[in-house]
Structure 1
């Protein structure tokens, strides 16, 4: 039989490299890679994707849209989703859109092999490997590696938040940048969008990596959040509710990141920063501690509701090299 045209679609170089490494060596395939959904659809039309390993969280055209387009256009492609978005509703949606299976990132070789066997895409064999383990020839930078690690972590946080609020959480591609303190001030101002906001901050440290997690809620969304949480107790204030939500979101995201970095983060007690003036105060303090800040920005949105909030992870400048060292094994 001729080799199976296999398409790997993910916007992250690191994620594609991890999948290449996880492929069974006895699976006879020709491999094409796509960095976004539009490239993937074009490859399928050219006959380069009878089977696709597909990410969900991508810019421009996400995995859900790819699955919908495959169905609408009648394109013959068997899809296995490989994603960090592990919400129960995400799994249901991809199944409804025709995906054969779902694998949680990062894909383990044994799990990928089991899914391929179950889907009838790989024959059980004890013969010698058809080819050596596949390697990629593209460079994986530090920012890309950290973005992919955060992508997995924020998916775990979204799954927990979805259970608390009973809604589907729309996930973005996280922004990762090394910023001067003045640039960080502009990012925070943009996040606030001129609206009164409540910010909650929580410090973390582990394995020499330190920073602060900042969760920013728009004040106009707080009443809607309270309704989603079915808040009824009169003595359960807005600030207490936001502190509880912050513990879920920040804790789950840091836990997911720590697992990948092989560290254990200790977290300080969260505290309220308040309005924009308080954020200015934080930046003023940061000027004495940081020359540059490695900033991760994640914007969560609640489907069906005009509610969104932003999580920022602010790593100290001294943590950057340690993060590079921890991510090096993922890159190489």
Structure 2
């Protein structure tokens, strides 16, 4: 008997990845939704015996969608597929009634094991035939590239958020990454958009591997240091400067390290990174940019704004790649979906 499967994700790249992960032997009719609002309509139309649901989406996110499914007792079995792999996200979605939670990118064997566990599928994990059946080569476009980079950043963002959440013992609110292709002259505007505060502190981590290089900038508002140090259980017996440097370096090392590890896995590239450089403390954006040595003509800028609402903490990660690295990155990402 054919089963209706709905893949709900705002990223076309992620929807294709998920579709190609479905085992060959599972007799399904696939449907797609770009956000929770579209997904709810599909469920009501009988197009979602099983739904694979992302968490971070515009219009209606995965949490809101799952709440509607629960409140209205809608007829669908939900498996969460998300880049946000924090334990609290996992427990919250299971508490709302999801069957299972899978981190991105999807492990085919883990997916098959879950389908077997709930009696949805009893075959093997092969998806070679499925890959051929759903392989639709989209025309190369800047929009397709940016969507792939956004999904890449979504996975990396989630891994980094999980590590910081474990360190601080708090739930980290994750955004939809903002991805743009800009010129060096527009970098000031991009950073200003990330940080509206007049005074910021910033750390730079340069990295390189197999023809792909880049820079990770971590930016803090000045008001964050005390609350961040408190969560880290640091003693404030040292000078203010030593205390703030310790907070700044520890958080940025964990954030950038986890993010680069996730990028390495997706791009199949081993990154080495330079010793972090303090670009400025309690300074304005102009000073941060003056201390930043990168002068690329074109820049792929990925902006990620992390937040801990319970502690009034916000900190930002800005990933910068030179334009000449984009082609190789896109090629490596697209290989995953064919």
TM-score, with structure 2 as normaliser: 0.91
Alpha-carbon spacing, 1:120–1:271, altered in 2? closer, same or farther (3 Å): same
1:52, 1:77 within 8 Å by CA — same for their partners in 2?
A: yes
Name the count of aligned residue pairs.
324
1:14, 1:330 within 8 Å by CA — same for their partners in 2?
A: no
1:145, 1:330 within 8 Å by CA — same for their partners in 2?
A: no
**Counterparts of 1:233 and 1:183 in 2: how far apart (Å)?**
38
Equivalent residues in 2 for 1:222-233 (5 A)?
Answer: 222-232=225-235
The gaps in structure 1 that reach 5 residues or longer are: none
Number of the residue aligned with 1:253: 259
Deviations 1:241-289 (A, max 9, x none): 1101100001110111011111111111112111223223046x44xx3
C-alpha RMSD of the superposition: 1.9
SS of the residue 1:168 aligns to = coil
Deviation at 1:138, TM superposition (A): 6.6
Deviation at 1:173, TM superposition (A): 1.1
1:195, 1:219 within 8 Å by CA — same for their partners in 2?
A: no
**Counterparts of 1:233 and 1:298 in 2: how far apart (Å)?**
29
**1:278 and 2:287 matched:** yes
Equivalent residues in 2 for 1:127-146 (5 A)?
Answer: 133=131, 134-137=133-136, 139=138, 141-146=144-149
Deviation at 1:132, TM superposition (A): 5.1
Alpha-carbon spacing, 1:125–1:151, altered in 2? closer, same or farther (3 Å): closer
**Counterparts of 2:171 and 2:37 in 1: how far apart (Å)?**
25
Number of the residue aligned with 2:336: 330
The gaps in structure 2 that reach 5 residues or longer are: none
2:13, 2:147 within 8 Å by CA — same for their partners in 1?
A: yes
**1:240 and 2:219 matched:** no
**Counterparts of 1:80 and 1:12 in 2: how far apart (Å)?**
17
**Counterparts of 2:158 and 2:224 in 1: how far apart (Å)?**
22
Equivalent residues in 2 for 1:116-127 (5 A)?
Answer: 116-122=115-121, 124-125=122-123
1:9, 1:55 within 8 Å by CA — same for their partners in 2?
A: yes
User: Pick from 258, 261, 265: which aligns with 2:271?
Assistant: 265
User: Pick from 170, 173, 176: which aligns with 1:170?
Assistant: 173
Deviation at 1:12, TM superposition (A): 1.1
SS of the residue 1:170 aligns to = coil
SS of the residue 1:48 aligns to = coil
Deviations 1:185-223 (A, max 9, x none): 101112221331111111111111111110000001211
1:171, 1:301 within 8 Å by CA — same for their partners in 2?
A: yes
